[in-house]
Structure 1
C-alpha cells in the first residue's frame, strides 16, 4: 500500500536525489507506506503523472529545483485535474522563497520552505490522520543534524550500479556569496563523522564507487577533510571516483600531501573562482585571496592527478566584458581541465537582488532566470557571452580538442574565442545539436579564416584530436590540403610517436 509518493525530475538518469532519500529515511512509521519515484526532465509530463497515479497515493511530495520547475508545473497541473482530492506537497530550493509568485501556488496544498527532512513527515502524519493544516507555507522548526536518520540505506542496488551517489559530511555554508542561496546560512554544520564514515563503508561494501560530496565547503575543517580522504585512500581500487567542492584559497600542506597520494582518475575538485575582480568580489560579499587561489590551482594542476573543474560567472553586478576577459585569460593560463563559464542566475531568495537597481540587473522571468543585461553589459553583448559559454563547453571543456585548443586561443584566449564564437553562430545559427564531425569541420574552417595559423600545424593538431576522440576514417575538414600535405602531416606525427 502506497499512501505517500516522493518524486522529483532529475536532469539526467545517472543523477539521484539525496533530498528525497532524506525525506524517506525520516518518515518513521510512515516509511512502509511510502515509495520514491524518480524521473528525468525530458520525459513527458503526462506519462510521469500516469505513473505517479498508478500507485493511487494520497500524498505526492515533489522536489522542485531550477532545472525542473517548468516540467513539475505541468505535472502538477495534470495531477490536480485528474485527482482533485490528491494532497500535493512541494519542497526544495526553488520553492523555499517568494512562494506567492510560484506558477503552481494555487494548485498545491502545502509548500515546505527550507529543510524539510523532519517537517515533511509531521505534515504527512497530520494529513493522513485527517487533521486540518491551515498553513499553506510550512516553515520547519530548527533541528540538530544528530536528530536526522541518514539517507544512505535508501540507495537501491540499481542506484549503486547506475547512478552517482550523493553524500554530505556537512550542511550549510559560512560564506555569504550573494548569487548563492547558501548565503542565507549562518554557518556550516558537520554530521557526526564516525557515523557518516560507517555509512560510507556500507555503501562501499555494497559496491558504490562514485561518491559526489555536495558539501559547499569540503576543505573548511581540514581535520575532517583529511579523515574522509584517508578513509577513501585506504579503499582505492579500479573505478573509485570522488568529487569535492574546494575553497580555492584554503589548501594547507597536510591536505596537499594527502591529495598527491590519489592516483589518476579518482579525484575531481570543483573550484569556484567566479570572478578575479576584487571590487566585484567585495560587492557580492565574496571573500577570496586570488593570489593564494592561483597558487593552489597551479599546485593541483601541476603536482597532483586531480581533475580540476573551475567556475566563472559572467554578468555579476559591476563587472564589464574587459574584467571578464581578464579573469578568463588568467584562469586559462592556469590550465585547469575545465572552466565552467556560467551566466549569472537570479535564484529565488538569493541576496543578489539588492543590486538590481544600482547595477540595472535585468533577469529572464522564466527559468533558469539568467541575466539578460546589466548596466555594464547590454543585451546583445550578453547574448554573445551566452553563446561563448555554450561553445566553450562544446570545445574548450569537452576534452576533444586538447591539441587544437592552444592554437585557437593563442595569447588572447577570451578575445580569440569570442571571435570564433561569433563566427560559429553567424555560420550555423546554432548553439546546440551540432554533430561532432561537423563541429570539427567548422572549427577548422573558422580558425583558418579568423587566425593567422600555419595550416599544416592546424591540420596536424586537429587530425590528432579527431582520431584520439574515436572518430574513424580520414577527417573531412582538410579539403584544402592536398594528398602530399596529408602524407607529410602523417609522417611528422609518426615521427613524434617513435
Structure 2
C-alpha cells in the first residue's frame, strides 16, 4: 500500500495530469512509496473517497484547479470525517492565492502555494518521519529547472495509448496580461533542450502520438521552437503513414520567416496552434497590460490560414474592463473574416491572484463569487446582456467550433457575423430554453426553421446545405425536410484520421 497518494479530479479522462507526475518524479526516495490516482469531475464523491482510502495512505496530495474546486472541497470534507488522521496536502493554482478565505484550505492540513515539486517532497519526508511542521501554508520553492527530475516516465502505457500527453519545454511567461495568473511570473524559464528532446523520443518510441505543449509562449525563442518542430518533422519524414498530433500555444504577433518555413513542412492534421488574441481594442489592451501588434497579429493569422496546414484555434474574451458589446462585436467580426478554424469565445474569469481584480471598482466588474468566477456584469455590459453573450459562446461552440456545419454557418453569418449569430442565439434560447443536451438532429431542424422562416432564405437551398453538413459529419438519420427519394449517403466514421482528433479533422475537411 502506498504511503502517499497523489490525486486530482481531471475535466475528462483524456486529460492526464502533468502536475501529479511532476510531483511523483521528484519525490526521490519516497517515489516508490507513492501512487497516482486520477478521477474525473462528475464521479460520485463517495466512490472517489472509497478508492483513495482503499490504498490506506498516510498522505494525500490533492491537485486543486478552478474546474474541480467544488468537488475537491466535498472530497476533503468526507475524507476528514472518514479518516481524520489522513494528512491532506493541497496544491495547484486555485489554492495558491487568497488561501485563507477558502473552505478547502481550512479543511486540509497543509497548502503548498506555487511550485510544488521540492516543497511537497520535503513536507512528505517530514510527515512520514513523524514531524508536523507548524506552518500550514507553505510557499513553494522554485528551483532552477535543471534541478527538477523529468516527469514523463510517470506516464503509463495506458496514458500513452489513450490520452493526451502534456509536456512542457518551458515554464512561466514574460507577458503581463492581467486576466492570467502567468502575469505574476517574472519571465519564462526553459528546460534544458537536449534532455527534453530525449524524453520526447522515449515517449514517441513507446507509441505516443498526441502531444500537448503547455508552454505559454512556444514561439518566444525561435531556435528552441525550430528544434522541437524538427524533432516531429524527422519522425513524420521517416514514417509518413504514422502521423502525430501536436498542440502549441503561439504568440500572435511573432512569426519569423524561419518558423514559417518549418510550419509549412507539416502535413494536414498534425499541428494545432492555440493563438490568444483576446481583444483587438488598443485601449483595452493597454488597460490590461497586454502588448500586441494587432496589424501583425492579423497578418500572421492570414498567413497561417493561407499558407500552412495547421489547425487554428483563436481565443477572444468578452467582459474585459471597459470593453462594451459593440467593441467586442467589431473584434469578433474581424476575427471571423480572418477565418481561423475555431474561435474560442471565452467569458472573463477572475482567477484567484490574477491582477485583473484591480479594475473591479473603476469598471464595475461583478464576478460570480462561486467557481468558475465568471464575469456577471460590468459598467458597460449589464447582467442580462452578459447572459446573452454566455449563451452565444455555448451555441457557437456547438455549431461553429464543432466543424459540423460549414456550409450552413456561412449562410447564418452572412455579412454581419456577430449580429446574425447573436440573433440566432436569442431565438434558439427562446425556442428551447436550453444550452446543453441539444441533439444534432434538433439543432439541424432549428437551423432550418430559423434560416427558412425568420431569415426568409430559400428553404430548398438551406435544406440542401444542412443535409450535406449533417451527413458529412456522420449523421445517419433522414432529416424531415429531405426528399423521401433522396439517396442516403454511406455513413462516415465519427473518429478522426490517424492521430488527428475528430473535431479538428472535420475543420480541415471544410468545403
TM-score by length of 2: 0.93
Map 1:234-273 to 2 at 5 A: 234-236=234-236, 237=240, 238-273=242-277
Equivalent of 2:438, from 424, 427, 434? 434
Once superposed, what is the RMSD of the aligned Cα atoms?
Answer: 1.1
2:95 alignment counterpart: 95
1:380 and 2:379 are equivalent in the alignment: no
Query: How much has 1:451 moved relative to structure 2?
Result: 1.6
Find the aligned partners of 2:199 and 2:120 in 1 and give their Cα distance. Answer: 23
Q: Is the 2:16–2:166 Cα contact (8 Å) retained in structure 1?
A: yes
2:340 alignment counterpart: 336
1:23 alignment counterpart: 23
Find the aligned partners of 2:365 and 2:151 in 1 and give their Cα distance. Answer: 39
Query: How much has 1:447 moved relative to structure 2?
Result: 1.6
1:221 alignment counterpart: 221
Equivalent of 2:295, from 291, 298, 310? 291
Q: Is the 1:419–1:450 Cα contact (8 Å) retained in structure 2?
A: no
1:341-391 per-residue CA deviation (whole Å, 9 max, x = no partner) reads 000000000000000000000000110000000000000000000000000
Q: Is the 1:5–1:34 Cα contact (8 Å) retained in structure 2?
A: yes
Q: Please state whether the residue corresponding to 2:447 is helix, strand or coil.
A: helix
Find the aligned partners of 2:83 and 2:472 in 1 and give their Cα distance. Answer: 54
Q: Is the 1:243–1:268 Cα contact (8 Å) retained in structure 2?
A: yes
Q: Please state whether the residue corresponding to 2:103 is helix, strand or coil.
A: coil
Aligned length: 483
Find the aligned partners of 2:52 and 2:478 in 1 and give their Cα distance. Answer: 50
Query: How much has 1:105 moved relative to structure 2?
Result: 2.2
Find the aligned partners of 2:336 and 2:464 in 1 and give their Cα distance. Answer: 23
1:401 and 2:405 are equivalent in the alignment: yes
2:310 alignment counterpart: 306
Find the aligned partners of 1:450 and 1:175 in 2 and give their Cα distance. Answer: 45
Find the aligned partners of 1:404 and 1:393 in 2 and give their Cα distance. Answer: 15
Q: Please state whether the residue corresponding to 1:104 is helix, strand or coil.
A: helix
1:75 alignment counterpart: 75
2:172 alignment counterpart: 172
2:501 alignment counterpart: none
Find the aligned partners of 2:454 and 2:292 in 1 and give their Cα distance. Answer: 37
Q: Is the 2:365–2:375 Cα contact (8 Å) retained in structure 1?
A: yes
Query: How much has 1:132 moved relative to structure 2?
Result: 2.2
Q: Is the 2:6–2:36 Cα contact (8 Å) retained in structure 1?
A: yes
Q: Please state whether the residue corresponding to 2:235 is helix, strand or coil.
A: coil
Map 1:329-478 to 2 at 5 A: 329-477=333-481
Query: How much has 1:49 moved relative to structure 2?
Result: 0.4
Query: How much has 1:477 moved relative to structure 2?
Result: 4.4
Q: Please state whether the residue corresponding to 2:90 is helix, strand or coil.
A: strand
Where has structure 1 moved over 6 Å in runs of 4 or more?
none
Q: Which runs of 5+ in 2 are unaligned?
A: 488-511
Q: Is the 2:90–2:105 Cα contact (8 Å) retained in structure 1?
A: no
1:418-465 per-residue CA deviation (whole Å, 9 max, x = no partner) reads 000000000000000001111100111112233242222211111100
1:22-80 per-residue CA deviation (whole Å, 9 max, x = no partner) reads 00000000001000000100111110000000010000000000000011111101100
1:54 alignment counterpart: 54
1:490 alignment counterpart: none
Q: Is the 1:180–1:347 Cα contact (8 Å) retained in structure 2?
A: yes
Q: Please state whether the residue corresponding to 1:127 is helix, strand or coil.
A: helix
Find the aligned partners of 2:285 and 2:456 in 1 and give their Cα distance. Answer: 37
2:139 alignment counterpart: 139
Find the aligned partners of 2:475 and 2:301 in 1 and give their Cα distance. Answer: 32
Q: Is the 1:420–1:450 Cα contact (8 Å) retained in structure 2?
A: no
TM-score by length of 1: 0.96
